[in-house]
Structure 1
Amino acid sequence: MKLKTLKIQNFRAYQEETEISFDNMTGLIGRNDVGKTSILDALGIFFGHKLCKYEPTDKCVYSNENDDVIITCEFEELPSQIVIDATSITSLQAEYLLTEEGTLSLSRVFNKGKGTGAYVANCIHPTAKNAKGILLKKNDELKAIAQSLQVEANDNRSNVSLREVIYQSVGDLKLKPQAVSLSKEDGKAILEQIQNHLPHFALFRADRPSTDEEAEVQDPMKVAISQAIEDIAPQLEEVKNQVRDRALAVANSTLSHLSDLDPELAMSLTPDFKADPKWEGIFKLSLSGDDNIPINKRGSGVRRLVLISFFKAEAERIKREYQDRGVIYAIEEPETSQHPDKQKLLVEAFSDMAEKDGCQIVITTHVPALAEQLPVESIRHIFRNQAGEIEVNSNRDDVFKLIARDLGVLPDSRAQVIVCVEGPNDIAFFRNLSSILISEGYVAPDFDNDPRIVLLPLGGDTLRDWVNGHYLKNIGKPEVHIYDRDDKNPPKYQPTCDAVNARADGSIAFITSKREAENYLHPDAISEALNIQVVVTDDCDVPTIVGAALGVNDRTAKRKLNRIAVKKMTKERLDERDPNGEILGWLNEIVRRCS
């Protein structure tokens, strides 16, 4: 199951119902104390996370006394069936528990802001006589309804079978939007099964001491110890028996000597082991550096990086154990105590995680250096409007302008030439390849360090790219466009390429002679980087071929090719794959336009 949206109402600062949509990667951006943490806490409360306990004080102070606190999560990619018991297999659709769009919307309702929070399904549900509310009826009640309708189920012991024939007999169920309680009978049983399919919610907070004694560290360490103990269980059993035998021998010898002094007392005592040893509690695993400095004595940035790594390891372990469930990784302010270089690596790591099946990443931040690296489609801007109410907006130009203004994300005014490519994978390709050429002594644009060159994906992949794109398109600087030919004839971008080349401002555009950038990679570079053997031609679909060899989707394969395999390229390998010097020609045109 995959989280699609969250709605919160009367929860802390969110009085009016507020909806937040979620993608594989979602960045909650806003100023301090605007409500980012409350969104993560609302998710934690819904999923029953141990760090998120609902308290009556969480009710919005501006709500009325009788108002409920409601936290609603909507899910897609639902299980095809729900197994209530061995003889009762049904589905959310068959029980009319889905929305009009075919999603599952569950609310956790705290009545008047109190209680433990009852679950209800917001769905298109029957309202017709004999069909209304039958999900909450007992078997005897369902049999009575079926008898009154003069229908008989295949199995009268099965509530699922009885509901099915009742629905069929009623005919027009008069389906209407309803909030269906899941508090008893089969409603409760279905809820329990739904909860077994819900994503695992893993939360990493910002305000924590960050030592190796924390649960996020100790839990995976305990798992490592438990697995090690399980692997050597026979040897430990032998040790336990040896200890038992020797201890009993000492005890029996003691009793023998005691019988010389007090036979009656000795007869009343019997050697007995009360419990087996708890091996897990005997061993303790921690981390120390080469200089034997423990992790809790290291800098806060190092500690936090280690903790995030432990956090990921534990969440991935849970995902392995519950393979039919997804995982939502919620990380609050991951940039805390991190150097900007590490912030960039964190965003890249989160992006890689978000591409895994069943993984969703949610991060919060108010730091420009991290916010500007987030994909624009992932950004959710949280702010207070003029009326003082919290709003959450996304994917609108005015929203991106507001974020850039609020956080201080500024365009690079030093640009002299703008290099336009199709997307982030092309950016990685050219950055890595150019860096290799420079390291071998060749003249090439330094995309990483030369402020005169701006490498821009045309889709505005990150907030920084979006800001630069909107600023640079009006400053009259020459542009170098590079497009993939793909497998279309004529190429998809031929009209765009012709239009750029028709300008009189020094701009120039190219279309690859090969299918796409990945076709310029040498197969030896791919083999060394990814440990696979592939044949690369000018026209083959390299990401698909590599994805099949690695057992990953095309998108993940494309990222690996452009971020890992390209780093194994050399000038010699480039010459072999590009004997006409096509790529070198593009790079030379970029360098020539730097003033």
Structure 2
Amino acid sequence: MFLKEVVLQNFRGYKNQHRIQIDQLTAFIGKNDAGKSSIFDALAVFFDHPLGKIDASDICVHAGVSGELRIGCVFTDFPGSITIDASSVTSLSDEYLLNVDGALEIHKIYEFSDGTLKKPKVFAIANHPTASGFDGLLSKKNAELKKSGETANIDAGVDKRSNAALRKAIWGSAADLKLGHSEIQLDKEDAKAVWEQLSNYLPEYALFRADRPSTDEDSEVQDPLKVAIKQAIEEVQTELDAVKEKVKARTLDVANRTITKLADFDENLSSQLNPNFKSDPKWDGLFKLSLTGDDDIPINKRGSGVRRLVLFSFFRAEAERLREEHKKGNIIYAVEEPETAQHPGNQRKVIEALQAIAEADGCQVMLTTHVPALASLLPIDSIRYVCSHEQNGRDVRIADDDVIRTVVADLGIIPDKRAKVLVCVEGPHDLQFLRRISGLFRAEDDTVIDMFADPRVALVVLGGSTLKEWVNQHYLKNVGLPEVHIYDRDELKNGKYKYQDDKDAVNARRDGSIGFLTAKREMENYLHIDAISEALHPVIGVNFTFALSDDCDVETEIKTQLSGQGKIQRRSIKHWLNEDAASRMTIGRLKERIGYDEIKGWFTEIANRVV
């Protein structure tokens, strides 16, 4: 299931009811103590995460002495059918358990009075029958449903053993169900069975907090390492069983001979003794895995930034394992302040990695930050600005012109005063491509600017579909730096390319800025077919033979040739192309694709603006 919205009411700073929109990638930006982490903690409570603890101190201080605290989630991509028992297969729509928008909305409600928080109840917020005699059917037992069915004169052919069939027939007999906003409690009769089934489809929620020690003794590190040991033991279990039997035989022989010798001293005592193994050996308890560097320096003795990067990697591995073991369709990565203890170069890599994860099937990423460098790397439509609000305690605003201006004003957009030029691209994949191709040029000529390491260059991801807003509103003009914009040309429509006007607008500024459209359709069109095959063949076992032209849609061509036969593991095809395939490019291959002079020209224009 895909999380589309979070609902908070009277939870910490969130007074009244707040509905927070969630996308594939969602970035909560705001000042310290704005309420960003509270959203993550509320989700931890909803998904029963081990870190999700709730008590009376979580009640909003402005909520009054009695009321209710709500934590809700709205989902799409829910299962088409639900099996309540062997004889009852139904659907959420048949049970009228979807909200007015056709989505699944679940609230956990905690009533409170005099500062005491009651046990939560689970409700579906639904567009449900309210007509007299046709409401409340989900809470009725089979005998009650049969009586309601007799009253409604339902067809005699209905399977009266099935509650779902009875409800459907009863509702079907109504002239007007008077559907309306209802809260259906999911802890009674078949409603409880529906919730138990739905719980199996909830996304796996993986929370990575900012305030933690980050050592290799942390449970987040030890758990995946223990799993690795367990899996390794399972693979050699046959050999271990053989060792166990040999040890048993050897020790039993020694024990029996000892008892025989004991009989020489006390035959009565020796007759009472029998050799016996109390338990089988715990193989996994014999091994403890730790991480050390080349000089055998343990991870907990390394710098905090290194420890956090390693821990973040373990966290990702453990989250993916949980999804596989629980057979959950989706996973939500919630990462607080990924910039913590990281060099600016690593901050950028972490954000690019999170953006790539968000593009993989079944993955959503949420992050919090108050660092302008990260804000500038995020697509605009992913941004949620969190701030205080007089009446509601907190406000979470979706990015629009006003929000972006506020973010730029509150956080700034350029963190490093050494910056001399802004390099603006559409998305993170463009950065990945340029990172790898720039390495080719620098290997050939070390005077080529290293735009990813040079502090005079600041990188800004404009967010694709919202790029026009950045250009038209010129959000970055107050920074006072020239800009180099590089956009994909894309397709020709109505005599113009997608960003042609935006490129022309940048070039018309007369402030030293310059805009480019790629001569080819997209960055991927500069790749060589051999580099693509070398990158993807080990994964999917296919050599690509399509004609890689300047105008083709490379991703679509790959999908067409695969025709559903190959499986790209947890990563989008664009991710593979702009990282793995781009890493296999050479100067010769780039020249063969007739991209050498054009791309080198981009780097030259960037270098001209840092002097």
Q: TM-score, normalised by structure 1?
A: 0.88
Q: Match for residue 539 of structure 1?
A: 551
- Does the CA contact (< 8 Å) of 1:149 and 1:166 recur in 2? yes
Distance in 2 (alpha carbons) for counterparts of 1:494 and 1:364: 30
Q: How many residues align?
A: 594
Distance in 1 (alpha carbons) for counterparts of 2:528 and 2:328: 38
Q: 1:526 aligns with which of 532, 538, 541?
A: 532
- Does the CA contact (< 8 Å) of 1:109 and 1:118 recur in 2? yes
Structure 2: gaps of 5 or more residues = 538-542
Q: What aligned pairs does 1:427-576 form with structure 2 within 5 A after superposition?
A: 427-430=431-434, 432-441=436-445, 447-448=451-452, 459=463, 466=470, 469-472=474-477, 483-484=488-489, 486=491, 488=493, 490-493=495-498, 496=501, 505=510, 514-531=520-537, 532-534=543-545, 535-547=547-559, 549=562, 551-552=567-568, 556-576=572-592
Q: 1:207 aligns with which of 202, 205, 211?
A: 211
Q: 1:122 aligns with which of 105, 125, 147?
A: 125
For residue 385 of structure 1, what is the amino acid of its counterpart?
H
For residue 8 of structure 2, what is the amino acid of its counterpart?
I
For residue 58 of structure 2, what is the amino acid of its counterpart?
D
For residue 146 of structure 1, what is the amino acid of its counterpart?
G
SS state at 1:470 partner? coil
Change (3 A) 1:169 1:558: same
For residue 310 of structure 1, what is the amino acid of its counterpart?
F
Q: What aligned pairs does 1:14-413 form with structure 2 within 5 A after superposition?
A: 14-112=14-112, 114-151=117-154, 152=156, 154-259=158-263, 261-386=265-390, 389-410=393-414
Cα deviation per residue 1:91-117 (whole Å; 9 max; x = unaligned)? 111111001111111010112152331
Change (3 A) 1:258 1:498: closer
SS state at 1:78 partner? coil
Residue 134 (structure 1) shift = 1.1
The worse-fitting range, judged by mean Cα deviation, of 490-499 and 139-148 is: 490-499
Distance in 1 (alpha carbons) for counterparts of 2:278 and 2:506: 86
- Does the CA contact (< 8 Å) of 1:526 and 1:565 recur in 2? yes
For residue 136 of structure 1, what is the amino acid of its counterpart?
S
Alpha carbon RMSD of aligned pairs, Å? Answer: 3.6
Change (3 A) 1:90 1:334: same
The worse-fitting range, judged by mean Cα deviation, of 544-553 and 231-240 is: 544-553
- Does the CA contact (< 8 Å) of 1:480 and 1:590 recur in 2? no
Residue 481 (structure 1) shift = 6.5
Change (3 A) 1:508 1:366: closer
For residue 520 of structure 1, what is the amino acid of its counterpart?
Y
Q: Percent identity?
A: 47
SS state at 2:15 partner? coil
Residue 291 (structure 1) shift = 1.4
Residue 522 (structure 1) shift = 2.1
Change (3 A) 1:153 1:324: farther
Residue 533 (structure 1) shift = 3.6
SS state at 2:475 partner? helix
Distance in 2 (alpha carbons) for counterparts of 1:479 and 1:301: 31
Structure 1: gaps of 5 or more residues = none
- Does the CA contact (< 8 Å) of 1:486 and 1:516 recur in 2? no
Cα deviation per residue 1:122-180 (whole Å; 9 max; x = unaligned)? 01111123321111111111122222333235422211111121111234221110110
The worse-fitting range, judged by mean Cα deviation, of 308-317 and 16-25 is: 16-25
Cα deviation per residue 1:297-319 (whole Å; 9 max; x = unaligned)? 22222211111111100111122
For residue 46 of structure 2, what is the amino acid of its counterpart?
F
Cα deviation per residue 1:312-358 (whole Å; 9 max; x = unaligned)? 00111122234442111112222222111111111111111111111
Distance in 2 (alpha carbons) for counterparts of 1:593 and 1:214: 46
Distance in 1 (alpha carbons) for counterparts of 2:91 and 2:482: 59
Residue 283 (structure 1) shift = 2.0
- Does the CA contact (< 8 Å) of 1:543 and 1:555 recur in 2? no
For residue 203 of structure 1, what is the amino acid of its counterpart?
L
Change (3 A) 1:193 1:285: same
The worse-fitting range, judged by mean Cα deviation, of 104-113 and 377-386 is: 377-386
Change (3 A) 1:507 1:71: closer
Residue 449 (structure 1) shift = 6.0
Distance in 2 (alpha carbons) for counterparts of 1:28 and 1:425: 22
For residue 65 of structure 1, what is the amino acid of its counterpart?
V
For residue 61 of structure 1, what is the amino acid of its counterpart?
V
Distance in 1 (alpha carbons) for counterparts of 2:506 and 2:552: 28
Distance in 2 (alpha carbons) for counterparts of 1:308 and 1:593: 36
Q: Match for residue 540 of structure 2?
A: none
Distance in 2 (alpha carbons) for counterparts of 1:28 and 1:525: 37
Distance in 1 (alpha carbons) for counterparts of 2:476 and 2:503: 23
SS state at 1:357 partner? coil
The worse-fitting range, judged by mean Cα deviation, of 266-275 and 310-319 is: 266-275
Change (3 A) 1:156 1:243: farther
Cα deviation per residue 1:455-513 (whole Å; 9 max; x = unaligned)? 766657899x9599423499796977755152657343496289669959598776555
